[in-house]
Structure 1
Amino acid sequence: MVVRDLPKVRLLILETDETELETQQDKGHYGQVLHHHFSKAGLNHDPPLGVETDRRFVVAEKGGKVPAYDEIKEYHAILMTGSCFDAHGDNPWILDLMNLLREIWLRNPECKLSGVCFGHQLLCRLFGSIVEPEPTGKWELGHSKIDLTGVGKRLFDTETPYVYMHQMHLDHVVAPPTPESSGGLLSKDTKVHVWGSSPHTQVQGIFIEDRVFTTQAHLAFDEDMVHREIQMRVDGGSIKDLEHADRAKDTAHLEHDGDIAAAAILRFFHGEDSKAVEESKKQ
């Protein structure tokens, strides 16, 4: 089937960092990696969906720029990538990105927002969550088990009470946002669901009906990317526990559920989260 003949999901990817150099040469930037991943999910969708992705690199320190709202107001599906930067930081571009997200939220209620790792943390910060390093200083790395809530099982369309995905983070969202924490962005009746948790990170992702679906884990990482991303952080000095890093590298080849996560987020972008909504109304 020719992709151009399929109904399409048009997706804007806000790149909040660059891929590691070897990955860049091998697979391209984050937008290309995610385009390939979501396109595969689209072809496996029933019926198949085409995926069209545009990208904006937003990191000012590396030559990027946060777009103005009017430049992207036509998009109804936006995803923010992972990053080596701290989502709790006050870099001017991070604050500009927060302002853009706030404007999108208020002015374009049809827009669905998603975020991976840094993107997940920044969206939670937008709604008032505290984002900070894990208290013991331990990273969550490599192939990791995530226990699913009822809503998570519905979103991922599985009866299995867990998924496995690749992790690459020290910072975490301490608690999910609430209407009270959001400074008025969330209405009083907004239900914020945590779809999964792990011993390291209790908020592995949030879901707000028709508006937000985030994931702390990296759905598109493969074995090579896990090895390279860990080594980059070891070389940069941010990961100091070399035994932990080596153990995580040794898990990179294990089967994970990134394809299931991509399918779930694609269904969300396509407006198919009714099963999760039904579950949420029972709680």
Structure 2
Amino acid sequence: MGDIQVVSNPAKPTIGMMILEADEPHPETSERKGTFAKILHQHFSTVGEAHDPPLGVMSNNVFLVSERGGRIPKIEEFEKHHAVLITGSIHDAHGDDPWILELLDLLRELWTRRPDIRFSGVCFGHQILCRLLGAEVAPSPSKDWELGHSKINLNKLGQKLFRTDDPEIYLHQMHQDHVVAPPTPQSSNGLLSPGTSVEVWGHSEHTAVQGVYIPGRLFTTQAHLAFDEEMVKRQIEMRVNMGSIDDTEHADMAAERADLEHDGEVAAAAILRFFHGEDDEIA
């Protein structure tokens, strides 16, 4: 398990977060910024400082991918944490890799035994949490990718969560798979109580379910809130070199837009407020 990191003084309220890393950054990104856990920790710490009053962020992390030296943590390792964040990944959230199935078992145990934990996920993390609750995750019907700087249309819930009157936000995307429809109590195999409402907060032209929300329990985003220009370009480069992205014209256009201003801090601030319990009554 990674070292606990604290960016706060003892007087600040502090969010204790377990970051489950489902991938590693491009080597150049890793050299410049560290692991995905470190990148996300710094991103949330920045928005925590801007919160009124400021919030501290304490994080621990576990790298999950067993074939690259990772492991699935035990439930006891979450004892001091009340927030879980699952990162993006180059792996398919609908896959049956042993570590993915073990992760689902862990999440099922946490969901059942720890009703105090709030869950969030980014890209793969969003998809795996929706899969946990019985939603279908699959490649987009057109088999195309949603890449780079993208417009996400917000509904009224999304505007409340992100505290904006604007009808859209802009975030970086890096996915071909999507959540086909949000989970329901009927799909969840008992994890959701009857009558639980799982709300979608926004959509894009490519993806109907850009994130889901259950007050006090779940807030996910398909888009990457902590990506910057260099990370977008490197992640696209990795996927082109692996052959995952074969539309190089689309990839080049996405890389060219990577420098555009995006709302990553707005999204992180919304998830931090969710972890802090501030927006439980807005749905």
TM over 0.5: yes
Runs of 4+ in 1 over 6 A off after TM superposition: none
**How much has 1:74 moved relative to structure 2?**
2.9
Contact persistence 2:40–2:226 (CA under 8 A): yes
d(CA) in 1 for partners of 2:136 and 2:63? 25
Q: Indicate the residue corresponding to 2:117 in structure 1.
A: 111
More deviation, 33-42/73-82 = 73-82
d(CA) in 1 for partners of 2:169 and 2:193? 31
d(CA) in 1 for partners of 2:24 and 2:262? 23
Q: Indicate the residue corresponding to 1:183 in structure 2.
A: 189
Q: Indicate the residue corresponding to 1:50 in structure 2.
A: 56
d(CA) in 1 for partners of 2:235 and 2:82? 30
TM-score (norm 1): 0.96
**How much has 1:69 moved relative to structure 2?**
1.0
Identity of aligned residues (%): 59
Specify the SS of the correspondent of 2:160: helix
Structure 1 residues not aligned, in runs of 5+:
none
Q: Indicate the residue corresponding to 2:8 in structure 1.
A: 3
Counting only pairs closer than 5 Å after superposition, residues 115-126 of structure 1 correspond to structure 2 as: 115-126=121-132
Contact persistence 2:16–2:80 (CA under 8 A): no
Q: Indicate the residue corresponding to 1:79 in structure 2.
A: 85
d(CA) in 2 for partners of 1:90 and 1:130? 14
Specify the SS of the correspondent of 1:4: coil
Equivalent position to 2:38, from 32, 36, 39: 32
Cα RMSD after superposing both structures: 0.9
Count of residues in correspondence between the two structures = 276
d(CA) in 1 for partners of 2:107 and 2:215? 17
Paired letter, 1:79: L
Counting only pairs closer than 5 Å after superposition, residues 1-283 of structure 1 correspond to structure 2 as: 3-5=8-10, 6-274=12-280, 277-278=281-282, 280=283
d(CA) in 1 for partners of 2:171 and 2:147? 10
**How much has 1:49 moved relative to structure 2?**
0.7
Paired letter, 1:212: L
**How much has 1:45 moved relative to structure 2?**
0.2
Contact persistence 1:73–1:108 (CA under 8 A): no
Specify the SS of the correspondent of 1:67: coil
**How much has 1:94 moved relative to structure 2?**
0.3
Contact persistence 1:81–1:118 (CA under 8 A): yes
Paired letter, 2:116: E
d(CA) in 2 for partners of 1:35 and 1:74? 17
d(CA) in 2 for partners of 1:74 and 1:101? 16
d(CA) in 2 for partners of 1:149 and 1:74? 35
Contact persistence 1:120–1:205 (CA under 8 A): yes
